[in-house]
Every structure is written in C-alpha cells, then in structure tokens.
Structure 1
Amino acid sequence: MGGQVSKQWERRNVVSTEKKTLCSLRESCGHEFPGCDYRPPDRKNWMAGLNPEKVHLNKIVWPGTHDSGTNKIGIPCITRPFAQCQSLSIYHQLERGTRLLDIRVEEDRHVCHGILITYSVDVVINDIKRFLSETQSEIIILEIRTEFGHEDPPDFDSYLEDQLGEFLIHQDDQVFEKTIAELLPKRIICVWKPRKSPQPKAGGPLWSAGYLKDNWVDTDLPSTKFESNLKHLSDQSPVMSRKFFYRVENTVTPQADNPVLCVKPVTGRIHGYARLFITQCFSRGCADRLQVFSTDFIDEDFVDACVGLTHARVEGKA
C-alpha cells in the first residue's frame, strides 16, 4: 500500500514539473506567429471568409476535435467524466469552426469511446447535413473509424455513400493542390477506417486510412506530449509536397496509474498551449508541416489560432 501511494505521489510530482516546464516555455518564448492576431469575423463560415478561390487545401490548418462524438457519452457525473472529450454537439463544433471530426463507431452503428456507447451515427450525419445546408464553402474532413475492441458495422461503406454521396469528394491525390472553389459543390473528405473490412478503393467516394495519419502518444504528461508532437511533426514532409493529411493532437489522456482519471482536468494540462505549439513550430523549423491540429473541448481561441495561420499562408506571410 505504501509503495503504491509513493508511486502516485511521484507521478503527481512529475506532472507538476512538466506543467511548469510548459508554463516557463510560454513565458520565455511567448505565443506570437504569423497570423496570430487574426480573428475570423464569422467562425461558422471562416473558409468562405478567406476566399475559396485563393485557399488551396494544402495551405489549410484544419482545427479538429478529438473523440468528437462524446458530448453525451456515459452517465452524467458517473461514467461521463472518464470518457467525455467534447461538450458540444457535432453541429455546434462545426459552427464554432471545427473542420475535422474524429468519430468512433461500433458494430451497431453507435458512436463510442472504448466500452461506453452513445447516440447513433445518424445523429452525426444529420448534424453535418444541417451545417452544410446552412453554409456554402466550408470543407469538412470526416474521419470515421471502428473503435478498438469492436467489430466493423456491416455494410458501413454503403451506408456512408448513401447518406453523404452528394457531398463526397472522391479519393484523389490531386485534391491537395486544388482550391476550395475547385472542389465545390462537394464538401466532405470522408476517411473510413475499418478494422477488418476492406479499405476504400482508390478513386472511390471514401478515402482510405493512409490518407489521415498521426503519431498517437498515450500519456498524461503535458511537456512529454508537447515535445513528442514537435518531434513527430518535424519528421514529416512539408504540406506542399504531402499527399495525405497529418494530424497533431493537442491532448493528454488519463492513465490508469495516476489518481486523476477524468478527462477534462487531465487534458487541461496542455489545452491552453496550442498557440505556444504553433510558435514553437516556427522556432524549430517545422511550421510548414503543420496541417491538422486537434484538441479536446474545442474553443474559439483554438479555432482562431488555426484560422490565423491559414490566413497567413494564403496571404503569403507564412
């Protein structure tokens, strides 16, 4: 018993030290970067506001949400705090400026996070359709994957094509070099990642797993995650030559050997350092690699940071 208490106390000291490390880095380096002072006048239509004829897809910094469909997961005050990564509905995430959604499903077409199950994926699809009906030039990356430990939903590729067919941008390497205006009226890049079923075919309406990559580091230590994100990002090719989307997740996640297991206080250790991360990308020479940037509990400032850098790229200032 004493050994376990000692270990947890040591872990809490490590967390505290890493929090101070990030705080000190921000105090010494600030968080200014090209476009940092830009604020989109309308987050719901921020791509339209940047001029779809000028915005190439490979210049966009996509604000994304991690475990996007968890706003109503679990039982409030009981299991929800251990699995909830977003407090907003899919529609309100999109309205706030999110442009990449991370949706996990299980065999009965319900959204899930681990063993906890929430609403039907139909809720996600309907929220996306509502948002698209209210906007004209916003492009969404929709990642749908079968959650670890679950089976693929039967005929799920056909379901996605039936539900979203009119909006789907077909899998094509040339898409990365095109402007938003050249893709319209198509609006969704749908990346379907089954666990066992066949991957989407080249040229089809769905994109295969290789088109959205990341290096997931499962830790609750904020400086460790921050530095790992920078290292993995620096190993990537620049966005202008890349033929896939690469995601960096500004998140840390609860660990079983730490006494704090609720998502919000744990991910809060890194949540406020998104602008610092972008600043460090410039300082360390890898800003031209940043493309998809995701977070838990997305807020306006996170969106503004991504849109600001996108604006700077479009204007040739970054």
Structure 2
Amino acid sequence: MGSTVSTQIQRRKAISTEKKTLVDLYQTSGEDFPGNDYHPTDRKNWMAGLNPEKVDINKIVWPGTHDSATNEIGIPFITRPFAQCQSLSIYNQLVKGARVLDIRIQEDRLVCHGILVTYSIDVVIEDVKKFLSETQSEIIILEVRTEFGHEDPPDFDTYLEDQLGEFLIHQDDHVFGKTILELLPKRIICVWKPRKSPQPKAGSPLWSARYLKDNWIDTDLPSTKFDSNLKHLSEQPPVSSRKFFYRVENTVTPQADNPVLCVKPVTGRIHGYARVFINQCFSKGYADRLQIYSTDFINEDFVDACVGLTYARVEGKA
C-alpha cells in the first residue's frame, strides 16, 4: 500500500510539473504565428472561403478530431467518460470546421473505442453525406481503421466504395500537388486501415495506411506529449515534397496507474496549447512540416488556428 501511495504522489508531482512547463512556455513564447489573427466567417465552408482555385492540398493545415465517433459511446455517466473524446456528432464536427475524421470499427461495423461500442458506421457515412450535400468545396480526409484487438469487417472495402463512390478521390500521389478546385467534384480522401485484410492498391478508390502516418505516444503527461510531437514533426519532410499525410495530435491519454481516468480532464492538460504548439513550430523551423493537426473535443479556436495558418500559407505569408 505504501509503495502504491508513493507512486501516486510521484505521478501527481510529474503531472503538475509538466502542466507548469506548458504554462511557462505560453508566458515566455506566446501563441502568435502567421495567420494567428485570421478567423473564417463561415467555418462550415472555410475551404471555399479561402478560394479553392488557390488552395493547394499540400498547403492545408487540416483540423482533425481524434476518436471522432465517440460522442455517444458507452453508457452515459458510467462508461462514457472513460472513452468519449468528442461531444459533437460527426456532422456537427464538420460544420464546426473539422476536415479529418478518425473512425475505429470492429467486425460487425460498429464504431468502437477499445472494448466500448457505439453506433454503426452507417451513422458516420450518413453524417458525412449530409455535410457534403450542404457544401460544395470542402474536402474531407476520412480515416477508417479496425480498432486494435478487433477483427476486420468482411468486405469492408466494397462497402466503403459502394457508399461513397461518387465522392471518392482515388489514391494518387499527384493529388498532393493539386488544388481543391482540381479535385472537385470529388470530395473525400478515404484511408482504409484494416488489421489483416489486404491494403488498398495503387489507383484504388481507397487510400492505404502508408498515406496517413503519425507517431502517437501513450502518455498522460502534457509536456512529454508536446515535446514528442515537436520531435517527430522535425523528422518529417516539408509538406511541399511529401507524398503522404502526417498527423500531430494535441491530446494526452488517461493511464491505468493514475486515479484520473476520464478523458476530458486528462486531455484538458494539453488542449489549450494548440496555438502555442504552432508558435513553437515556427520558432524551431518546423512549420513547413505541419499538416494534419487533431484534437479531442474540437472547438472553434482550434479550427481557427489551423485555418489561419492555412490562410497564411495560401497568401504567401508563411
């Protein structure tokens, strides 16, 4: 018992120290960067607002959501707080400005997060289609993966192609050098990441796992995650020469050895430092590598930070 208490005390000290590290960084470095003061007048149509003819795919800083379809996961007030990473529906995330969705599924096509399940993938698809029907120039990256520890849904690639075929931008390295206008009326880059089934092939309507990469670390320590994000981003080529999407996640994850296990208070340790992170990307010379930036519980300020930097790139200010 004594060693357990001692361990918990040390863990709480480490978390407190790391939270202070980010506060100090904010106070000394601030959160300014090119485009920091830009706010889209219509987040639902922010890509259209930047002029699709001018926006190259590789200049976009894509605001994304982590574990996107968890707004109704588990049992309210019982298991949901341990797995819920978003409070908004897929449709409302897109309306708010998210353009990258992270969907985890299991064999029966139910969306899941670990052992907890929620609605069918059909709900996600219908929300995406509804959003696309109400907009004209917004491009979405839809990542669907089989959750760790689960089996692939049978014939799932066929399902995705049947449901989304008219919107799908086919797997093609040339996409990275095109503008939004050149891709329209196609609207979805769909990355399918099965665990055991064959990966989508070159030229397929679906994109393989190698086109969406990240370096996720499992920690609830905010400064550790912040520094890891910077380190791994520094190792990537600039977006101008990259033929894959690279994601940084402004999140931390509850740990079993810590008494705070609910997602929201844990990820809140890093949630408010998205603009500080972009500031540090510029300070350290990594800003030309930032591309997909994802978060838990997405809000307007996070979207505006990503859109603002995109605007600065499009206008030649970053």
Asked if 1:180 is matched to 2:180, the reply is yes
* Residue in structure 2 matched with residue 235 of structure 1 by the alignment: 235
SS at match of 2:301: helix
Q: In structure 2, what is the Cα distance between the partners aligned to 1:242 and 1:300? A: 28
| Alignment deviations for residues 71-110 of structure 1 (CA, whole Å, 9 cap, x no partner) | 0000011000000000000000000000000000000000
Q: In structure 1, what is the Cα distance between the partners aligned to 2:107 and 2:206? A: 19
Q: In structure 2, what is the Cα distance between the partners aligned to 1:228 and 1:201? A: 32
Q: CA deviation at 1:244?
A: 0.1
Q: In structure 2, what is the Cα distance between the partners aligned to 1:48 and 1:9? A: 51
Map 1:192-231 onto structure 2 (within 5 A): 192-231=192-231
Q: CA deviation at 1:200?
A: 0.3
* Residue in structure 2 matched with residue 167 of structure 1 by the alignment: 167
Asked if 1:146 is matched to 2:146, the reply is yes
Q: CA deviation at 1:314?
A: 0.1
Q: In structure 2, what is the Cα distance between the partners aligned to 1:203 and 1:284? A: 37
Q: In structure 2, what is the Cα distance between the partners aligned to 1:148 and 1:204? A: 24
| Alignment deviations for residues 207-265 of structure 1 (CA, whole Å, 9 cap, x no partner) | 00000000001100000000000000000000000000000000000001111000000
* Residue in structure 2 matched with residue 252 of structure 1 by the alignment: 252
Q: In structure 1, what is the Cα distance between the partners aligned to 2:49 and 2:216? A: 32
Q: In structure 2, what is the Cα distance between the partners aligned to 1:275 and 1:157? A: 37
* Residue in structure 2 matched with residue 95 of structure 1 by the alignment: 95
Q: In structure 2, what is the Cα distance between the partners aligned to 1:97 and 1:304? A: 8
TM-score by length of 2: 1.00
Asked if 1:6 is matched to 2:6, the reply is yes
Which amino acid in structure 2 is aligned with residue 211 of structure 1? Y
CA RMSD of aligned residues (A): 0.3
SS at match of 1:249: strand
Q: Which runs of 5+ in 1 are unaligned?
A: none
Asked if 1:125 is matched to 2:125, the reply is yes
Which amino acid in structure 1 is aligned with residue 64 of structure 2? G
| Alignment deviations for residues 153-212 of structure 1 (CA, whole Å, 9 cap, x no partner) | 000000000000000000000000000000000000000000000000100100000000
| Alignment deviations for residues 11-32 of structure 1 (CA, whole Å, 9 cap, x no partner) | 0010000000000000000000
SS at match of 1:233: helix
Which amino acid in structure 2 is aligned with residue 197 of structure 1? S
SS at match of 1:169: coil
SS at match of 2:294: strand
SS at match of 2:143: strand
Which amino acid in structure 2 is aligned with residue 90 of structure 1? I
Q: In structure 1, what is the Cα distance between the partners aligned to 2:192 and 2:201? A: 11
Q: In structure 1, what is the Cα distance between the partners aligned to 2:8 and 2:74? A: 27
Q: In structure 2, what is the Cα distance between the partners aligned to 1:65 and 1:123? A: 17
Which amino acid in structure 1 is aligned with residue 232 of structure 2? H
Which amino acid in structure 2 is aligned with residue 160 of structure 1? L
* Residue in structure 1 matched with residue 76 of structure 2 by the alignment: 76
SS at match of 1:107: coil
Asked if 1:275 is matched to 2:275, the reply is yes
SS at match of 1:78: coil
SS at match of 2:144: strand
Q: Which runs of 5+ in 2 are unaligned?
A: none
* Residue in structure 2 matched with residue 61 of structure 1 by the alignment: 61
Q: CA deviation at 1:2?
A: 1.2
* Residue in structure 1 matched with residue 158 of structure 2 by the alignment: 158
* Residue in structure 2 matched with residue 189 of structure 1 by the alignment: 189
Q: In structure 2, what is the Cα distance between the partners aligned to 1:273 and 1:70? A: 23
SS at match of 1:302: helix
Q: In structure 2, what is the Cα distance between the partners aligned to 1:44 and 1:130? A: 12
SS at match of 2:246: strand
Runs of 4+ residues over 4 Å off in structure 1: none
Which amino acid in structure 1 is aligned with residue 315 of structure 2? E
Which amino acid in structure 2 is aligned with residue 19 of structure 1? K
SS at match of 1:119: strand
* Residue in structure 1 matched with residue 288 of structure 2 by the alignment: 288
Q: Percent identity?
A: 82
Which amino acid in structure 2 is aligned with residue 268 of structure 1? G
